[in-house]
Amino acid sequence: MTGRNLLAARAAAAFERLYGEAPAGRWAAPGRVNLIGEHTDYNDGFVLPFALPQRTVVAATPVDAPLWTVWSEQAGEQITFDGTDAGKPGQVTGWGGYVAGVVWALLDAGHQVPGARLTVVSDVPPGAGLSSSAALEAAVLTALADLGRIDLPVDDRPALAQRAENVYAGMPCGIMDQAASIRCRAGHALFLDCRSLALEHIPFDAAGAGLAVLVIDSRAPHRHVTGEYAARRAACESAARALGVPALRDVTTDGLPVALARLDDDVVRRRVRHVVTENQRVLETVALLRAGDVPAIGPLMTASHASMRDDFEITVPEVDTAVEAALSAGAYGARMTGGGFGGCVLALVDADRVDAVADAVTAAYADRGFTPPVWFSAAPSAGAAALP
């Protein structure tokens, strides 16, 4: 049995132990990483996530009353909530809020939602920037939609899961995480236009090119993330206002020199340069992947990192060290992924160099006295689905 099947078996075994019967079904939804396109989402720009092999599995059975009983292996507890709780955003707090949020968002959209018993098991590391929260929402949403035979087109699902997180759980986040967890396809990255919400599956067959994507959790302690995020966002919005455009998406690379000349604050100028060049790097990455030239995206990844480090100033010594060590050990490209101030680093490496590059990063960490990194290599995987 593979690790993935084990996860599904664990969800079903827990279900039988807790509820004394086999579940009606099992559903899985993955975590994600963003290949390139950072801090572009709220500027109406482009992102390019792919789904991880790590997934959250939900086993579930409908019940006749508007009552939800949910056990999570990771949380180590069982919670219950009813229709009244699910009707009031914020009523269920903690991890259960993500589950109640999905019920709320479905009800709020006018759907009949079946009560249910659920168990949740996951191998998506929580809080590492790999979007375990969206994996949980997507798995629960897919399960409830199937159990209730809810007519909910897959196109509409990411926004619904996002509302669960934004409105019910009270976490402001863009739509990328939910779109990736629900819509990604194996062997592909998901090219998402955050303005139109148009999406396209872009072939990303790293393994076919003899390559692997190494995901390195920097283990950096999160520092001031919320305040820094708000400051970056405010700088981008004020720059767009000063330039008279709806969003920085509307500044092209050709128009960048003129735009920069119109801004008088050097920090804001650098923030704008990051967003505009990052959008362009996403477009160039998509073009290279469409042409099947996977190794050629490496320099774009590395340029993205330099832009986040020097212009957007959202990296920390741990992630800079991981990127430098990976590049020195022969990676085609490497960059921090996620909102910044920690989180994970991606490195594009020859498949037979995964261990060597990971060892080089571990050694560089040891030299600087950082908490040892953890890493895995990730093939672009499938989005949310029922399990056989």
Which residues contact ligand ADP by CB under 6 A? Answer: 56, 72, 74-75, 95, 98, 120, 122, 126-133, 136
User: Which listed residue (85, 123, 146, 177) is catalytic?
Assistant: 177
- Say which entry of ligand ADP, Mg ion, none residue 297 contacts (CB below 5 to 8 A, set by partner kind): none
C-alpha triplet 135, 129, 225: angle, nearest 5°: 130
- Say which entry of Mg ion, ligand ADP, none residue 212 contacts (CB below 5 to 8 A, set by partner kind): none
Minimum distance of ligand ADP from residue 328's CB (angstroms): 28
Closest CA to 106 of 59, 156, 160: 160
Residue 57 CA to residue 6 CA, distance in Å, equals 10
220 annotated as belonging to a binding site for a ligand: no
Residue 67 CA to residue 185 CA, distance in Å, equals 33
70 close to 79: Cβ distance less than 8 angstroms: yes
Phi and psi angles of residue 250, each rounded to the nearest 5 degrees, phi first: -85, -5
- Say which entry of Mg ion, ligand ADP, none residue 130 contacts (CB below 5 to 8 A, set by partner kind): ligand ADP
Closest CA to 140 of 11, 5, 3, 2: 11
196 annotated as belonging to a binding site for a ligand: no
Closest CB to ligand ADP among residues 7, 357: 7
User: Which member of 34, 56, 119, 133 binds Mg ion (CB under 5 A)?
Assistant: 133
Closest CB to ligand ADP among residues 31, 380: 31
Closest CA to 305 of 278, 284, 335: 335
128 annotated as belonging to a binding site for a ligand: yes
Minimum distance of Mg ion from residue 34's CB (angstroms): 12
Residue 168 CA to residue 162 CA, distance in Å, equals 10
Minimum distance of ligand ADP from residue 120's CB (angstroms): 5
Residue 324 CA to residue 147 CA, distance in Å, equals 48
Minimum distance of ligand ADP from residue 229's CB (angstroms): 13
- The letter for the amino acid at 249 is R
Q: Residue with structure tokens 């919400």?
A: 197
Q: Residue with structure tokens 């590059």?
A: 357
- Say which entry of Mg ion, ligand ADP, none residue 364 contacts (CB below 5 to 8 A, set by partner kind): none
Q: Site map for Mg ion, 277-316, x if CB under 5 A? A: ----------------------------------------
Check if 193 is active-site: no
The answer to whether residue 122 forms part of the interface with Mg ion (CB under 5 A) is no
Q: Total number of residues binding Mg ion (CB under 5 A)? A: 2
Query: Residues near 210 by Cβ (< 8 Å), separated by ≥ 6?
Result: 350, 351, 352
The answer to whether residue 162 forms part of the interface with Mg ion (CB under 5 A) is no
**Neighbour count for residue 101 (Cβ, 10 Å):** 31
The answer to whether residue 321 forms part of the interface with Mg ion (CB under 5 A) is no
**Region from 125-133, 137-145, 149-157, 365-373 binding Mg ion, contact rule CB under 5 A:** 125-133
Minimum distance of Mg ion from residue 126's CB (angstroms): 9
Closest CB to ligand ADP among residues 164, 260: 164
SS3 content of the chain, % helix, strand, coil (to 5): 45, 20, 30
Longest dimension (CA), the chain: 69
Positions in 213-252 near Mg ion (CB under 5 A) = none
Query: Residues near 369 by Cβ (< 8 Å), separated by ≥ 6?
Result: none
Residues tagged active-site: 177
Site residues (vs Mg ion, CB under 5 A): 131, 133
- Residue stretches of the annotated binding site: 38-41, 72, 127-133, 165, 229
